[in-house]
Amino acid sequence: MNVTSEATKSFWTIDTSFPKASRLGQDEHCDVAVIGAGIAGVSIAYELALAGRKVVLVDRGPLLGGMTSRTTAHLAPICDDGLSALIDMRGEALARGFQESQQAAVDCIEQHVARLEIDCDFRRLDGFLFPAAWMDEKEAARECNKEYAAAAKIGAQVEHGKGVQLKGHESAPILRYPNQATFHPLKYLRAVLADFEKQGGKAFADSAVVETDEGNEVRLKCDGGSTVTASNAVFATNSPINTWVKIHSKMAPYRTYAMAFDIPRGTLPDALYWDMDDPYYYVRLNPGPGKTDYLIVGGRDHRSGEANDGEARFTALEAWMRALVPGLGRERARWSGQVLETIDYCGFIGRSPGKGNIFIATGDSGQGMTHGALAGLLIHDLIVNGSNPWEAVYAPDRMPPAASARYLSENLTTVKNFAGYLLPGEIKSAEDVKPGEGGILQDGLSKFAVCRDREGKLHRHSASCTHLGCIVQWNSTEQCWDCPCHGSQFAADGAVLNGPAVRRLV
């Protein structure tokens, strides 16, 4: 069970199903065990299988059914938070390494598409940075100049420009980033998984790892009782389930929202678009039938568990998009996903702190597709060759001094959450909870997560996340419980949908 059980379904699942795979029903021995079958896990498993390693890949739910299925699939190597911010945080040398590595990830996807002849709508295109709605021309030009100068310092391609075909921005100062890309993520990954199995790899679905025994070999026990024993293990589970504090305290979970609409072909040039707001909006197209394409827009982010107003955010997202593209057609899909923002804008990819044969890939920072493909390259090199030229950029044990303020700010959420144990509950009685609703109930000295699913069945569990004990919050849009501290998610019946938790709500 994973986030495929959440209420909304992404645009990518309309025309593409998840691969069929059996549950792990016997013990396995291998060179490398990879936990998590999203783009990071699949990319890592595939690159290692191509190198001749015996690889076993497992996921707690359907393969490809995690947060990878909830992306908008921009393949943009430009830092999600801006190149100027990245340079200020990490310095020019590491920022240059970030840019080079992210570009290498896009190139890697392109090479696999060509070699395997994957029909996944992969294409190179431009990316455009345009002003936020509140900016005047002077402010927008200043932001463009800042990002242009930052790009020049690290060798990223960029050009000044004027205007994009979005209403009100036809003559605005903009930046054009050439040689970006995009694709259909599930079509791409289905083909990669198929070739992974041709290379001798084994993949198992519905097999949640619930226990890890570390040593010269790593022994992973799954919920069905079978085990995987491996020389090396890689945790690529959106948020790692093998470490309790060291990594989770350096990143924060955020909900982001996305919608897909019909759009007459030619209304908007095929490109990637993102604005200068914070949090920003992001837009792309996907080919459709006949004279119709699909426009995908995302944004309206918030810290996971700190808001329960998904419908209002979808309404605002649609209003923003229709104001810019008056010819936008009918809605095709709406969904949300979770991104893990790190304290310094770069993912944590490499050896798990203090572990010689355990690796992690986490902290997508809004660039899950490129971080995921990059994880395949970087961890392949660490396991096969012992080093990688970009390992310092993504080293999981890093703590840049410039990130200390951000570290403290993000971790205040955990402090405030634990203080919530001293506050009264949100609901007075379980009988007040209507279908599709949920809330925290105070009963004596204990707090309970109480919800009624859309079929009317009442569920009552401890409100304490089974990862580190934070109080979970109801998400009416996805009909699940979200942990604001570290990103765990639970179904209405308490089952784990997303780590770092491995045990259901009690």
**Is residue 43 over pLDDT 70?**
yes
Q: What is the mean pLDDT of residues 418-426?
A: 69
Q: Determine the pLDDT at residue 422.
A: 59
Q: With the C-alpha atoms ordered 57, 228, 358, 379, is the resulting torsion angle positive or negative? A: negative
pLDDT the model gives residue 74: 97
Structure confidence at residue 14 as a pLDDT band (50, 70, 90) = very high
**What is the Cα–Cα distance from 261 to 11, expressed in whole angstroms?**
9
Q: Residue 424 above 90 pLDDT?
A: no
CA dist., res. 415 & res. 253, Å (int) = 15
The alpha carbon dihedral of 21, 26, 31, 35 has a sign of positive
Instruction: Determine the average pLDDT of the residues in 25-40.
Output: 98
Q: pLDDT per residue over 452-487, tens digit each? A: 999 999 999 999 999 999 999 999 999 999 999 999
Place 246 in a pLDDT band, splitting at 50, 70 and 90: confident
What tens digit of pLDDT does each residue of 263-302 get? 999 999 999 999 999 999 999 999 999 999 999 999 999 9
Q: Which CATH superfamily is domain 422-498 in?
A: Rieske [2Fe-2S] iron-sulphur domain (2.102.10.10)
> pLDDT band for position 15 (50/70/90)?
very high
Tens-digit pLDDT profile for residues 425-437: 789 899 999 999 9
Q: Which of 287, 4, 367 is nearest to 119 (CA)?
A: 287
What are the structural domain ranges in the chain? 122-181+250-337, 422-498
**DSSP-assigned beta bridge partners for residue 491:** 480
Predicted pLDDT of residue 488: 96
Q: Considering the entire predicted model, what is its pTM? A: 0.96
* The CATH number fitting domain 122-181+250-337, selected from 3.40.50.720, 3.30.9.10, 2.40.10.120, 3.40.50.460: 3.30.9.10
Q: Between 408 and 202, where is the model more confident?
A: 202
Give the mean pLDDT of the chain: 95
pLDDT (0 to 100) of residue 419 = 64
Residue by residue, DSSP assigns 114-150 as: HHHT--S--EEEEEEEE--TT--HHHHHHHHHHHHHH
Q: What share of the chain has pLDDT > 70, as a percent?
A: 98
In order, the DSSP letters of 155-187 are T---EEEE--SSTT-TTSEEEEEEEEEE--HHH
Phi and psi at 289, nearest 5°, equal -80, 150
Q: What is the per-residue pLDDT for 414? A: 74
pLDDT in tens, 174-220: 999 999 999 999 999 999 999 999 999 999 999 999 999 999 999 99
What's the longest Cα–Cα distance across the chain?
A: 64
pLDDT band at 402 (very low <50, low <70, confident <90, very high): confident
Give 189's contacts (C-beta < 8 A, 6+ positions apart): 39, 42, 64, 68
pLDDT at 400: 85
| Lowest-pLDDT choice from 4-18, 161-175, 369-383, 406-420 | 406-420
- The pLDDT confidence band at residue 415, using thresholds 50, 70 and 90, is low
State pLDDT tens for residues 58-86: 999 999 999 999 999 999 999 989 999 99
Mean pLDDT of 107-135: 97
Residues whose CB is less than 8 angstroms from the CB of residue 91 and which lie 6 or more positions away in sequence, other chains included: none
- Average pLDDT of the residues in 104-130: 98
* pLDDT reported for residue 151: 98
Give per-residue pLDDT as tens, 343-383: 999 999 999 998 889 999 999 999 999 999 999 999 999 99
Percent of the chain with pLDDT over 90: 90
